[in-house]
Each structure stands twice: as C-alpha cells, then as structure tokens.
Amino acid sequence: MTITLTASDAAVKTAVFKCKEVNCSGCQKHITEAVNTLEGIKSVKVDLDTKLVTVVYDDSKTSPVSIKAAIEDAGYDTETVS
Ligand SMILES: [Cu+2]
C-alpha cells in the first residue's frame, strides 16, 4: 500500500487544548464558533468529559497560538496540551 501525501494534506495538523471551564453544550457551541471564525479550521471538537478541545487546522493558514487566542477571547482559560 502506498500513502501519498498531497501538499494540502501535509499542512493539516491537529492541536489539542484543555479548557477547564467547559461544562455545558453552551460552552461547546461558544468555543466551536469562536475557533471557526479563524481561517483554515477543518474541524473543532469540544469534549465535555475530558474538557479537551481538538482542532484540526491548516498549518499554512493559522497556528495553535491563534487558536488558543480565539478560545481565550471567547472567555475561556486555555492550556495547550499538544
Ligand atoms: Cu457552559
């Protein structure tokens, strides 16, 4: 089996953040919307149990620093996990 990475696939990365204050679907929606305002976001998953926000993004258009700032601007203290 051959795996071929295109240029755009190579730029897609995943970043994980911990937001301790996330506790309901309102927070989930709020963070998802805040992150989605950035360019190059492929997907946002907010897990209410683990309080982890997993963001798949295009590395050529945005960065973990920008994503973290967007979550913090939405009013949530955030730690970068990976
Ligand atoms: Cu909430």
Q: What letter represents residue 80's amino acid? A: T
With a pLDDT cut of 90, the percent of the chain lying above it is: 87
pLDDT band (50, 70, 90) for residue 10 = confident
Which protein residues have a CB closer than 5 Å to ligand 1 (ion)? 23-24, 26-27
Q: What's this model's pTM, rounded to 2 decimal places?
A: 0.87
Residue-range domain boundaries for the chain: 22-80
Cα–ligand 1 centroid distance for 71 (angstroms): 13
CATH number of the structural domain 22-80: 3.30.70.100
Give yes or no for residue 25 having a pLDDT over 80. Answer: yes
Closest CA to 25 of 52, 46, 56: 46
Q: Measure the CA–CA gap between 74 and 56, rounded to whole angstroms.
A: 19
- Print burial letters for 44-54: b (CB count within 10 Å at least 16), e (below 16): bebeeeebbbb
Cα–ligand 1 centroid distance for 5 (angstroms): 38
List, edge to edge, every strand of the sheet that includes 41-47: 41-47, 52-58, 12-18, 79-80
